[in-house]
Structures are given as C-alpha cells and as structure tokens.
Amino acid sequence: MSEKKRCLNFTKEQKDDAVRRVRAGGQSIPAVARNLGVSEQSLRRWLKEANSDEESEFDSAMTTDQLEELQRLRVQQFSMFNSLMNGFPDTTCYVKDVNGVFIDCNQAYLEKTLEGALTRETLLNGKTTDFTLGFPKDDCELYARQEKQVIENGVPITNRYPVHNKTGKLIRWEKTTKIPFRDSTGAVIGTIGISTDISELIQTQEELKISIELARILTNNSTEGILVLRGNKIFLSNPYAAQLLGYSAPDDLEGMNVNEFLLTGQLDMITAKLANNYTDFEELKFRTNTGEEITLAVQGKISPEAQGLIFNLRKPQEQTDSLTGLILKRAFTDALAGEMEKPADAHIAIGFIDVNNLKFVNDTCKEHTKGDSLIKSVAEIVKSGIRAEKDVFARLYQGGDEFCLMFPSLPADGEKTFEIINSKVTHLVQQLRGKTIVLDNQIEVPINISIGVTIYRRSSRNPGAEALLAEADALMYVAKKEAEEMQNAQNFQWKPTKFKIIFSKFNNN
C-alpha cells in the first residue's frame, strides 16, 4: 500500500492524537511514527499543519498591538539565543536538523572547529553536513549515530571527543553535550551541540597517568623501602618496605598507623628534624609484624606533592666501604661521639672533604670505573698522610664523593692546635697537587678537592657528633663554591685550581 493511501486512512482524531503524543515529549517522532505505521514525513506534516492552524487561530484572536508585541518577543528571543551562542568565545555551538544539516552555529564553531575555512553563509546553505565538510569518515559516523540517538530518545548525551581536521590530524579534545532541539510544540526537530575545549585537561590526565605508572615502576623496583605518610597513616608503600617490616605485600601496610611500627616518640623526633631541613639518614627502631625489634636507616622528606612525608628505608649501613676499605659514616660518627665524650681538656678537628669533579668524570666516561679510580686515588693519598694509629678517616657513603677526617687528642692550646691542623691539611694538599686522571676521551683532569675544617674543644658544651660534622660540611660547601668558579667547563679545559680550605672554631670557649 502506498504512503499516500495509508495516510488517507487516518481520521482527524487519530492525527490529533499522534500530535498530542509527540508534544507530550514522552515519545519521539520516529517512535510515534513506527507505532502508528505512518512515515515520519507524514507525521511531521501533521505537526506542521496543527501548528499552522493553532497559530492562525491564535493570531486571528489577537489585536494589532498584541501581534506587534508577539513579534517583538520573538525577535528578542532569537536575539537572546544568538547572544547565548556567541557569549562564550571558548565554547563552540551548532544547531542541526534531523538530517544532520547545519541550520545555525556560533562564531567559535567557525573559527575553532572549521579553522576559518567557511563563512557562516556558506555553512548555513541548507545542504552542509559533517560529511560534506570533509571531516574524517569515522568521526562523522560517530556524530551521526549519537545525534540520531538524541532525536529518537529525546534525551541529552555528554561525551568526550577527539576533534580532527580534514587531514585527520588531532587538533584538540572536546567535551560535547548534545541536546534535543524542539519546536514550539515540543517536537524534536534536530540537535544542539555545545562543546568545550578540554585539551589541557586531557593532557594533564595523561601526564598524571604516566607519572603514576612511572612512580609505580620505580617504587616497585626500588632497592629501598618507601613509605608515604599522611598524618600518622601509611598512604602508600612499596614491596621492599613490606618485606623489611615483615609483611607479604604493600596492601598489608597501607592504611595502618606508622606508630604501630616505630617505637614511641621516634616519629615526632624525625618529623621535627625534617622541619629543620634535615636530610640525612637516621637510624630508628622498628617493630616488625612478628614483634621483633629491628634497626633501619630512615631518610625522610616533607613532600607537598604527596601531601605528607616520604620515608626511604634501608638496612643499616655496612661498617666498611667495599671500594676504598674505609669505614663509613655510621662507624665514623660513633668514633667521633666517643672522642667528644672523653673528659680530657683537648681539641678535636674534623675535616670534611669533597671530590669536586667526580660528577664530570662519571658523566664523561661510559663506565664509572674512572670515577671509582678517582675516589680510590684520593683515599690512598689521604691515608698515606695521616696517623694510622690515631686519626680516623672515612668515606661518608658508598657511591658518594665525600670523605671525613678526624684528628683527635690535639693540644688544649687553641693556637697550637690550629698550627698543627693547618700543617696537616697543607701537607695533604701538597700530596694531591699535580695528580691527574685521564678520561676515555683523553682529557686529563686534575684531582681536585674542597675541604672544610672545624675545631672543637672537649671542655666546651657537647653539641653532638652530627652537629660537628654538619659544621664542617657547611664550610666545605663554601670552599667548593669558590673552587667551581675557577673551572672553565665550557670547553672542558680544566685550569690548575688551588685547593680550597676553610677553617672554623666550633664552640671553642
């Protein structure tokens, strides 16, 4: 049966009922048409006829002044719609009919989506669709499916879309809401699309995902235990931290109170040190899952990014450096603390030594063997110039470029002590002067150190071994800064640099 013949079988009451169904908003035009067995085209014609009849009746019942006021309101409504569309320069907006043909858009759509390729008049020629604009076919088909869904269901949808130009190049990401475009009767006659550029948000989210994944990889493969604390609670941990504390997995730790592991008062102590920019490892007592008390070296950091504290955990240092055979920091500070507690009125001198060019050597050579040779050379030269039976010489950390020297039991006379230490350090400098190391590219680099020395009198207030060592460290950095200013790193021609030595008397009263 032809469409024309089927249409003639519907009475006026049936047509009015169909119009009422569409206007009620519960069903879309395609749904009502399918239920009644009529074409969408016929149903739209009935709606148009009903609207026309009602407008004629409405207009004929109005006075001239009322008609003019109605026309003014319609113009005002249209103007408000256009103002709304163009009032947000970063938001694109378009209106399409049920066939996907553009019937309106804002300036931002022309400039951002179409990149200025078409004028408004050209776009709104009554024929233009996404397909005729030449956008990638997959994008056009996606837009068409979603717009069809909005038209049929009468319900808005919101999604994120990658926006490509005609060559297929991704130009941005958009968050787009597509809503039904209804006529005055409530019938859906098209779609309105409103899009916001979210490229920066997408990029930030992607970077965050990468950062989280990298952090997870690095954390899980770290040779140190890692705990991230928020307040007293463990927010994040890694497998090695769980292993050190006697648990099978990080999940077993996360959410627990760190005071369940740390002995009383230790968290407050390390937090107070961190507030004063303390960055060294501190040995703390922990209680494992089995109740065993163990000692772990802890290095903490206040992290605004993690919104809390980050603790790096490791087993206590070995007593001896495998490369140089020297004792390490833990043994050195123990020896220094013991000397500081002796009752005899005498001086102790602490020398903090830094090898200035280790980083350059390691960065220049493919292998770190040259850097190891540099460290060993410095260690052997210094060892040959000190009293093996009295003086204490240590490498601060394995893999580091810093050494510590302690000269104990020096005279109570401060001036005499200074003369002795000055002589010892000057002799050390003379031993190192002229020594070089040849790199892979045949660049000859002189062995170059900076030294900070502090002198402590045992009869004065005991500040503790760490404080005395920190004083010598600070003096060394002053010397190192002056030494680095004398190097011409631009062309890697290393000038003969004088060794920088800075002295201080610490609590010598």
Instruction: Pick the range with the lowest mean pLDDT from 21-30, 87-96, 278-287.
Output: 21-30
Whether residue 319 is contained in a domain is answered as: no
97 located within any domain = yes
Whether residues 401 and 490 share a domain: the answer is: yes
- State whether the Cα torsion 176-180-182-186 is positive or negative: negative
Write the pLDDT tens digit of every residue in 299-330: 888 877 667 788 888 877 667 888 888 988 88
Q: Which of 260, 283, 314 is the last residue in one of the domains?
A: 314
Residue 455 and residue 498 in one domain: yes
pLDDT greater than 50 at residue 507 = no
Judgement on whether residues 179 and 234 belong to the same structural domain of the protein: no
pLDDT at 486: 56
Residue 345's CB is within 10 A of a number of other CB atoms, namely 11
Residue bearing the bigger pLDDT, 369 or 368: 369
Q: What average pLDDT score do residues 376-404 get?
A: 86
The CATH code of the domain that includes 398 is 3.30.70.270
pLDDT of 130 strictly over 80: yes
Do 289 and 355 belong together in one domain? no
CATH number for 46: 1.10.10
Contact 398, 328 (CB under 8 A): yes
- Selection from 264, 319, 312, 308 nearest residue 286 by Cα: 264
Please give the share of the chain, as a percent, with pLDDT higher than 70.
77
3-state secondary structure 111-124: HHHCCCCCCHHHHC
pLDDT of residue 114: 84
- The pLDDT assigned to 498 comes to 37
pLDDT score for 177: 92
Nearest to 154 by CA among 23, 40, 27: 27
Name 112's Cβ contacts closer than 8 Å, sequence gap at least 6: 92, 172, 197
Q: How confident is the model at residue 458 (pLDDT cuts 50, 70, 90)?
A: confident
Q: Is the pLDDT of residue 4 over 60?
A: no
Residue 463 confidence (pLDDT):
80
Residue 494's pLDDT band, with cuts at 50, 70 and 90, is very low
373 and 287 in a common domain:
no
3-state secondary structure of 428: helix
Q: For residue 408, which of 455, 352, 459, 472 has the smallest C-alpha distance?
A: 455
Bridge-based pairing state of the strands 500-506 and 449-457: parallel
The reply to whether the predicted model has a pTM over 0.85 is no
Q: Evaluate whether residue 408 is within a structural domain.
A: yes
- Residues 305, 334: one domain? no
Residue 320 placed within a domain = no
Using 50, 70 and 90 to split pLDDT, how confident is the model at 220?
A: low
Residue 214 in any domain: the answer is no
Co-location of 145 and 257 in the same domain: no
Q: Average pLDDT, whole number, for the chain?
A: 78
Contacts of 242 (CB under 8 A, 6+ apart): 225, 248, 249, 250, 252, 253
Residue 109 and residue 248 share a domain: no
What are the C-alpha distances in Å from 428 to residues 180, 323, 479, 487?
A: 86, 21, 16, 21
Write down how long the chain is: 509
Q: Compare 443 and 280 and report the one with higher pLDDT.
A: 443
Total count of domains within the chain: 4
Asked if the structure places residue 203 within a domain, the reply is: no
Predicted pLDDT at 101 = 92
CATH code at position 141: 3.30.450.20
Calpha distance 269→251 (Å, rounded): 27
pLDDT digits (tens, 9 = 90+) for 336-350: 988 888 877 788 999
Average of per-residue pLDDT across 101-130: 87
SS3 303: strand
pLDDT at res. 267: 81
Same domain assignment for residues 347 and 460: yes
Tens digits of residue pLDDT in 463-489:
888 888 888 888 888 887 776 665 544
User: pLDDT tens digit string along 172-214?
Assistant: 888 899 999 887 777 888 899 988 888 888 878 777 766 666 5
Q: Give the tens place of pLDDT for each residue, 46-85.
A: 877 776 665 555 455 556 666 566 556 555 555 566 666 6
The per-residue pLDDT for 147 is: 92
**Would residue 208 count as lying in a domain?**
no
Q: Rounded to whole angstroms, what are the CA distances from 241 to 121, 226, 296?
A: 67, 6, 11
Task: Report H helices in 245-347.
Answer: 266-275, 329-340
How confident is the model at residue 492, as a pLDDT?
35
416/344 same-domain check: yes
Range of the domain at 473: 329-506
- Asked whether residue 411 carries a pLDDT value surpassing 60, the answer given is yes
Q: Residues 91, 55: one domain?
A: no
pLDDT of 451 > 60? The answer is yes
- State the Cα–Cα distance between residues 48 and 339, nearest whole angstrom: 103
**What are the tokens at 449?**
């150190």
Q: Pairing state of beta strands 402-410 and 392-395?
A: antiparallel
Q: Could you tell me which of 280, 287, 326, 298 has the C-alpha nearest to residue 464?
A: 280
Residues 18 and 134 in one domain: no
The lowest-confidence range among 265-269, 327-331, 336-340, 405-409 is 265-269
d(CA 417, CA 178) in angstroms, rounded, equals: 85
Averaged pLDDT, 255-270: 83
Give the tens place of pLDDT for each residue, 27-49: 677 777 777 778 877 877 887 77
Any domain includes 375: yes
**In Å, how far are 109, 134, 138 from 168, measured between CA atoms?**
18, 10, 10
Whether 404 has a pLDDT exceeding 90, the answer reads yes
135-161 pLDDT, tens digit each = 888 888 989 999 999 988 888 999 887
* pLDDT value, residue 491: 36
Lowest-pLDDT range of 4-8, 96-100, 217-221, 452-456: 4-8
Q: Could you tell me which residues are beta bridge partners of residue 160?
A: 175
- The pLDDT confidence band at residue 368, using thresholds 50, 70 and 90, is low
Give the E-state strand segments of 49-113 in sequence order: 91-97, 102-105
Checking if the pLDDT of 392 tops 90, the result is yes
Q: How many helices (H) and strands (E) does the chain have?
A: 16, 17
